[in-house]
């Protein structure tokens, strides 16, 4: 069995053979945002299937391409679609994409996702900058022997969502005239949506939104010392808050409706992030 490090090296070699210049900022495009990858200038699009060991998602709305290009002169690498633990993947597989971004040399990764709103003041269609998370998946991608060459055994998580990147997101939102809320994201395993009792529990625990991704990716990035930032599209009010049953088509429809604002925010955030990286 090959090591994670050697699998990453093989994936990195393929990407580097298709595009020489290293990206500065990595982006993970969640539900409904995939098309952003196609808007990059000087685009090099690499299907995941061409990249050794790169997993592909079976979830509707998640294309499988690595998009390399530029946004306003900043070189970026976008994961157009991610895999989730609820699809049956282990934590190394779920985090392979962001670890590859780190290998390609990005200084920061900006993640996006869809989430259910728990904060009573949230409305569907709002954007929430994640300031911290609750890992309620029962898993951690760092379980197992630690590769000290990659990162420490016990990584610090006190500023998992980088303060400078958070400031950059707020600056980008202000500039674009977009309302950006901020809150704590609870990461659960899924694939069921929560019960109303679970949502009440999450609120008591201090969660403002709930979703099924992002947490393992941010943990893996912090381990590698790569700065992380994340924004949720509140695609629905969490179970029990809204009287309507939850449905993935509602999540997709809201993500689609919010896409223009999300893309405007992301574009500005990439530029501000490049500035913050110096």
Contacting positions for ligand HPA (CB under 6 A): 114-116, 193-194, 210-212, 235-236, 238, 246, 251
Which residues touch 197 (CB under 8 Å, ≥6 apart)? 240
Of 43 and 241, the one with the shorter C-beta distance to ligand HPA is 241
Known catalytic residues? 31, 62, 84, 86-87, 114, 212-213, 236, 248
Strand 209-211 relative to strand 108-117, pairing: antiparallel
Q: Quick check: 53 and 10 in contact, CB under 8 A?
A: yes
Distance, in Å, from the CA atom of 190 to the CA atom of 72, rounded to the nearest integer, reads 36
CB of 58 to ligand HPA, least distance (A): 16
Q: Please, what is the minimum distance in Å from the beta carbon of residue 191 to ligand HPA?
A: 9
Q: Cβ closer to ligand HPA: 37 or 211?
A: 211
- Min dist CB 251 to ligand HPA, Å, is 5
Angstrom distance (rounded) from CA 242 to CA 45: 39
Residue at shortest CB range from ligand HPA: 116
Q: Which is nearer to ligand HPA, 214 or 273 (CB)?
A: 214
Q: Please, which residue, 28 or 276, has the CB nearer to ligand HPA?
A: 28
Distances (CA, A) of 131 to 107, 139, 147, 181, 274: 19, 21, 28, 10, 20
Q: State how beta strands 41-47 and 65-71 pair.
A: antiparallel
Based on CB atoms, which residue is closest to ligand HPA, 193 or 269? 193
Residue pair 86/96 in contact by the 8 Å Cβ criterion: no
Considering the complex, what minimum distance in angstroms separates the CB of residue 249 from ligand HPA? 12
Distance between CA atoms of 228 and 238, rounded to whole angstroms?
Answer: 25
DSSP state of 242: B
Q: Could you give the CA distance from residue 215 to residue 139 in angstroms, rounded to a whole number?
A: 10
Least distance (Å) from ligand HPA to the CB of residue 147? 31
Instruction: Please measure the distance between the N-terminal and C-terminal CA atoms of the chain and give it in whole angstroms.
Output: 39
Q: Looking only at Cα atoms, what is the longest distance across the chain?
A: 52
Q: In whole angstroms, how close is the CB of 224 to ligand HPA at the nearest point? A: 26
């Amino acid at each position: 069995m090959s090591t994670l490090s050697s699998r990453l090296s093989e994936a990195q070699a393929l990407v580097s053979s298709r595009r020489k210049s290293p990206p500065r900022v990595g982006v993970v495009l969640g539900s409904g945002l995939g098309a952003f990858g196609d808007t990059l200038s000087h685009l090099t699009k690499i299907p995941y299937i061409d990249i050794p060991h790169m997993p592909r998602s079976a979830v509707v709305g998640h294309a499988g391409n690595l998009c390399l290009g530029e946004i306003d002169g900043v070189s970026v690498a976008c994961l157009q679609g991610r895999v989730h633990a609820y699809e049956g993947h282990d934590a190394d597989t779920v985090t392979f994409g962001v670890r590859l971004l780190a290998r390609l040399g990005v200084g920061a990764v900006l993640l996006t996702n869809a989430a259910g709103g728990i904060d009573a003041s949230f409305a569907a269609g709002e954007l929430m900058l994640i300031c911290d998370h609750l890992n309620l998946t029962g898993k951690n991608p760092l379980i197992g022997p630690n590769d000290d060459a990659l990162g420490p055994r016990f990584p610090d998580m006190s500023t998992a969502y980088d303060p400078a990147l958070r400031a950059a997101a707020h600056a980008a939102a202000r500039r674009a005239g977009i309302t950006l809320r901020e809150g704590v994201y609870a990461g659960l395993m899924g694939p069921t949506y929560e019960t109303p009792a679970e949502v009440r529990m999450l609120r008591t625990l201090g969660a403002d939104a709930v979703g099924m991704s992002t947490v393992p990716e941010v943990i893996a990035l912090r381990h590698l010392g790569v700065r992380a930032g994340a924004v949720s599209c509140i695609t629905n009010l969490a179970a029990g808050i809204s009287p309507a049953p939850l449905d993935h088509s509602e999540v997709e429809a809201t993500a689609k409706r919010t896409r223009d604002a999300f893309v405007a925010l992301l574009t500005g955030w990439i530029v501000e992030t490049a500035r913050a990286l110096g």
